[in-house]
Structure 1
Amino acid sequence: MTEADIAAASGLPLHTWRRRHGADFRARVHVVIPGARLKLYDTSQALAHIAGKALPTLRDERLHPDDLLNDKEAGDVLGIDASTVRAYAATGYLDSGTQRHGRTWWPRHAVEARREAGDQRQYNPGPQPNNPRNRVPRPRHDPRIPEIAELTCRSQVTSTEIAQRYQVSTRTAQRLLTAARTHCGN
């Protein structure tokens, strides 16, 4: 839980909770990830402190597969840098993670599965849906150019006439006319 979540659970605005209860809370309940910018607290300990009960002990050091890891922790598990974890998630090489508290978190089981699978970045499964590389290339030859070249070679044709005849914009008509003139040799 963040301090905003704890204040909401207490029924107080965040600034009031920080002023009245923040210092006492921080002295008794320790953050889950020391040194992180976002201060997260264990939910069971935070709720017990709000209720005035004894704080439950945190579970033992065994790692749970559903633990959420930030990019630095996931990088430590994979043996890579945090920026590489984010790049892996962006390219689909690693699970995209879940958004919580304005940050991306990866479940430990997904990160460990990536580690156990080995390096498969060279594997290309083929065209992916919605990949911009899958687009059909633009035709290099416009079939209208020989027709316009024939008209241009016989008589003087303007771009306005071409725009009306082929129902295209004036700029496209100018482009077609220029290509037809080079095709005709004028």
Structure 2
Amino acid sequence: MTEADVAAAAGLELHTWRRRHGSDFRARVPVANPGERLRLYDAAQAQAYIEGRPIPPPPASEPHPEDLLSVDEVAAMLGTDASTVRAYAATGYLPQGVELHGRRWWPRHVAQQRLDAGDQRHHPERTGAGRRPGDPRNQAPRGRQSRTDARVREVAADLAQAETAGQTTPTADDLADRYDVSRRTGERLLAAARQHLEEHQASK
């Protein structure tokens, strides 16, 4: 769970939860992925904190085939870098993975299969399939744009629900934390979501 998930489970806005409980929560519940920008917490431990129960011990640390690995963890496992892992996923050399918390993750067994299979790509010198500069296939993968669109639609839905229920709408800071992006990107997402919502309402 992210801090945004914990706040939602507690029935509070993220900024309110952080002001009231953030420091105490971080002192009592260890982060599950030290060193990462997006802090994740074990769901059982977080839920125990929310319900006022004793915090259970952390889960077993032995690797499990269904563990979800970040792009950096997959890169370390394959002995490459994050940009190469993204390229692998864009070209089908590695499965697309799953999207969670605004990021893409890969089950450990998927990365292990890729590692065990070795390098089976078709190299340009063998196939003549190299791409020249300017080739349109060198553009950013469509999946990246679709992910952005999905975030805009998601925020637009949150705005509509908040307006209908008379609740506080999400802020740029909330979005920056939810999707692990900069505040400027949070502002852009919020502006795009508002425009999307206005266009949707006008089309009715």
- The verdict on a shared fold, with TM-score over 0.5 as the criterion, is yes
Task: Give the secondary-structure state (helix, strand or coil) at the position aligned to 1:84.
Answer: helix
Q: Deviations for 1:53-99, whole angstroms, at most 9, x for unmatched residues?
A: 11111222210111100011001111111111111001100011111
2-side partners of 1:81 and 1:14: how far apart? 33
Aligned partner of 1:11: which letter? G
1:105-145 per-residue CA deviation (whole Å, 9 max, x = no partner) reads 01101000100111110289xxxxxxx99xxxxxxxxxxxx
Structure 1: how far apart are the matches of 2:46 and 2:61? 19
Aligned residue runs from structure 1 range 28-43, under 5 A: 28-43=28-43
In the alignment, which residue of structure 1 is the partner of 2:17? 17
DSSP 3-state at the match of 1:15? helix
Moved over 3 A (4+): none
Tell me the secondary structure at the aligned position of residue 46 of structure 1: helix
Amino acid at match of 2:95: D
Number of residues of Structure 1 aligned to a counterpart in Structure 2: 128
1:27 is aligned to 27
- Asked which structure has the greater RCO (Cα within 8 Å, sep 6+), the reply is 2
The normalised TM-score by structure 1 is 0.64
SS in 1 for 2:48: helix
Corresponding residue of 2:92: 92
Q: 1:34: Cα distance to partner?
A: 1.0
Measured in 1, the distance between the counterparts of 2:12 and 2:57 equals 26
The corresponding residue for 2:118 is 118
Shift of 1:16: 1.0
Task: Work out whether 1:48 is the aligned partner of 2:33.
Answer: no
Q: Which moved more, 1:58-67 or 1:20-29?
A: 58-67
Deviation track 1:27-60 (CA, whole Å, cap 9, x = no partner) reads: 1111111111111111111001111111111222
* CA distance in 1: counterparts of 2:84 and 2:109, whole angstroms: 18
> Per residue, is there more helix in 1 or in 2?
2
* Aligned pairs for 1:66-81 within 5 A: 66-81=66-81
Please provide the CA RMSD for this pair.
Answer: 2.1
| CA–CA separation in structure 2 for the residues paired with 1:48 and 1:114 | 37
Unaligned runs of 5+ in 2: 127-135, 138-204
Length-normalised TM-score, structure 2: 0.59
> Residue type of the partner of 2:65?
P
Report the 3-state secondary structure (helix = DSSP H, G, I; strand = E; otherwise coil) of the residue aligned with 1:93: coil
- In 2, the alpha carbon distance for the partners of 1:38 and 1:61 equals 19
Distance (whole Å) between structure 1 residues aligned to residue 84 and residue 62 of structure 2: 26
Q: What letter corresponds to residue 58 of structure 2 in structure 1?
A: L
Aligned pairs (5 A) from 1:141-160: none
Matches of 1:2 and 1:53, distance apart in 2: 19
Q: Secondary structure at the match of 1:5?
A: helix
